[in-house]
A and B are shown apart, each in its own frame.
Chain A
Amino acid sequence: MDVAALLTCYERMAVIRRTEKAAHDLFLQGLVKGTTHLAAGQEAIAVGASAALRPDDYVFATYRGHHHALARGATPEECLAELMSRATGLCKAKGGSMHLTKAATGMLGSYAIVGSHLPMAVGAAWSARLRGTEQLAVAFFGDGATNIGAFHESLNLAAVWKLPVLFVCENNQYMEYTPIADVTAVARPAADRAPAHGIPGEVVDGNDVEAVEEAVARLARRARAGDGPAVLEAETYRHFGHSRSDPAAYRPAEEVERWLKHDPLDLARGRLAELGVQAEAVAEADERARAVVERAVEAAKAGPPPDPREALTDVWADGGAAWRT
């Protein structure tokens, strides 16, 4: 990754970090309802992967998907408006934090049933092949999803049909509240199982945006060339608990400290310094990110509430919800 690209990635990660912080603060102010599953700490995976993808590639994410939506073209304002139940939200306030979707830019949704979107990504890759487009489909999922049936069904089908799909596991070490190692018989829950399905399984430092970009770019080239799917397990750590209701008190202090020292933004900042980028340039990127998110918060707050009549639209392709003729 060249210096300019790395600086761009850094700024995108900074925007995501600040958007997540804003979501957290807005929740505490009572402006965000329901729950949020924040991805602060995992920004390098979304940003690094997106840097390696084509604009017309498909991305499927989980309920912890703010970072993917933002990395794939959703604006902080659209996302925060959605979280704040505004009509200007990404999904017209019908989706919420767990379902951020921006189909126009290939962000085909965040799904809140663990692992359910892996077969969808397989299907999108199948469709790309049928249409001869050389598009790629990427499924981002957590370590917990590697123990559900759809994970294995998806890997097998993608392998046997040799589809251009990448399975990117964000291994943040915890399956909700439980250490993944306590409930999984192999050390690398995604990568270790890939070979059993005839798929290469790689491990990458998920907090290193350059390493993620490099791995995704390489596996994407391979998939587009017709060599089939791959599994990439990106090791990372979430800064917050599983969701709003989880203070994550179960995590050992030294573990938290170790991972916080391995923060993706700090890593990128260090790398930029190594490459000779002046501190002022990084500070300017930080300042732009701060301003973008600050404006987004104000704009999202100013958005109107949804028209209650909208509750009865969008079930069917004609826009309505009538189940009787």
Chain B
Amino acid sequence: MADVITYREAVAEGIAREMRRDTSVVCLGEDIAAAEGVFKTTVGLRAEFGAERVWDTPISEQAIVGAAMGAAMTGMRPVAEIMFSDFLACCWDYLANEIPKVRYMTGGQVTVPLVVRTANGGGLGFGAQHSQATENWALTVPGLKIAAPATPADVIGMMAAAIRSDDPVVFFEHKALLATKGPPPPPDHVVELGRAAVVREGADITLVALAATVPLALKAADMLSGEGIEAEVVDLRCLVPLDAATVLDSLRRTSRLLTVEENPYQGGWGATVVSIVADEGFGLLDAPVRRVAGECVPLPFADALEEQVIPTVDKVVTAVRGLAAY
């Protein structure tokens, strides 16, 4: 394997590794087989595993996710692709009402081991219906696990954990990270769901980030380092299960908290994180908690407008300076 792998290659590699080790893993989605994915995140799968394991579907999001559910209930481990995360709304019944509830309302009789993969987030000028960060939608529904990796190695390790999970996982692949590169992980690399990573250590403030906001927070941390502010950056990696312990542990060292999230402030995951901190870690804080989040508007098209409404390095730097001076 090459010295570096892109995030988009890591998606296909992560799926392929699981398909090699478990014949019950099958893929379905729009344009994933012959065309190898509109984001080229399924390159090589059809060639290696054949048409009986990698299936092109019609544009029928309800059928894709509903069929994945039925297959998962009957012995398969399907990996379904919903091309853009905005389109999760087209099959929201399955994400909100069917998949996460069937285990509970059958008294534990039925398990649904499936993965719904989707390309999430903005920054690429795709306009209001192809740019949203929607992980907070899934966060409102008890019964879904939510993974959102930030690096190629985590993509592979978390894909392994997601596919092996007996519970349903919504797997958010961030569009702005697809071309980013990193070292490929060793064979059988698994990143347990629900384990956050401290990706930069620092004593002055905790930045909690997810997916595309992780490199953004790291960039801000490097800039702030020059001003004598050392930020610790926590990559949450998963929203469910949520590793609040790592956040609270970091706050014991830093006493200041900023969440950096791309979804709108209104109902965003940062609100859940800060509410846990307010509830269980209030005594650790020496300053108010702050959230850098998306503005509560539809995503605009033009770069200059989009930058206004999604998190940027400058917004994070400004917020940290304010908190550091508190």
Contact = CB atoms under 8 A, between A and B. Distances in A.
Interface in A102-147: 102-104, 108-109, 111, 113, 116-128, 130-131, 137
B60 A130 contact: no
Interface string A95-107: 1100101111000
Interface stretch (B61-69, B117-125, B152-160, B227-235): B61-69
Interface in A296-314: 313-314
A136 to B, nearest CB: 12
Contacts of A314: 103-104, 107-108
Contact of A153 (B60, B76, B108, B195): B60
Interface stretch (B36-44, B93-101, B129-137): B93-101
A58 B110 CA distance: 13
B67 A137 contact: no
Contacts of A126: 67, 70-71, 76
Contacts of A103: 73, 106, 109-110
B186 interface: no
Contact of B98 (A58, A120, A160): A120
Contacts, number: 166
Interface of A: 58, 60, 89-96, 99, 101-104, 108-109, 111, 113, 116-128, 130-131, 137, 149-150, 153-154, 156-157, 160-161, 313-317, 319, 321-325
30 contacts: A91-B107, A91-B109, A95-B107, A103-B106, A109-B106, A109-B110, A116-B93, A119-B63, A120-B69, A120-B70, A123-B74, A124-B74, A128-B74, A149-B62, A150-B93, A153-B58, A153-B60, A156-B63, A160-B58, A314-B104, A315-B100, A315-B143, A316-B167, A321-B142, A323-B142, A323-B240, A324-B243, A324-B244, A325-B195, A325-B241
Interface of B: 26, 52-53, 55, 57-58, 60, 62-76, 78, 93-94, 97-98, 100, 102-111, 113, 142-143, 165-167, 194-195, 240-245, 276
B74 A127 contact: yes
Contacts of A150: 62-63, 66, 93
A72 B174 CA distance: 44
Contact of B93 (A89, A94, A113, A154): A113
A118 B60 CA distance: 13
B74 A315 contact: no
Given A104-B109, A324-B244, A122 B67 contact: yes
Given A119-B64, A325-B243, 16 more contacts: A60-B70, A94-B104, A94-B105, A94-B106, A103-B109, A103-B110, A119-B66, A119-B67, A122-B63, A122-B67, A123-B78, A124-B73, A150-B93, A153-B66, A160-B58, A325-B194
Contacts of A92: 107-108
Contacts of B194: 324-325
Nearest to B69: A120
Contacts of B107: 89-95, 101, 314
B72 A123 contact: yes
A96 B276 CA distance: 33
B58 A157 contact: yes
A156 B66 contact: no
B110 A123 contact: no
Contact of B60 (A104, A111, A157): A157
A132 to B, nearest CB: 10
B71 A123 contact: yes
B69 A123 contact: yes
A274 to B, nearest CB: 41
Nearest to B78: A123
A178 to B, nearest CB: 22
B63 A120 contact: no
Nearest to A325: B194
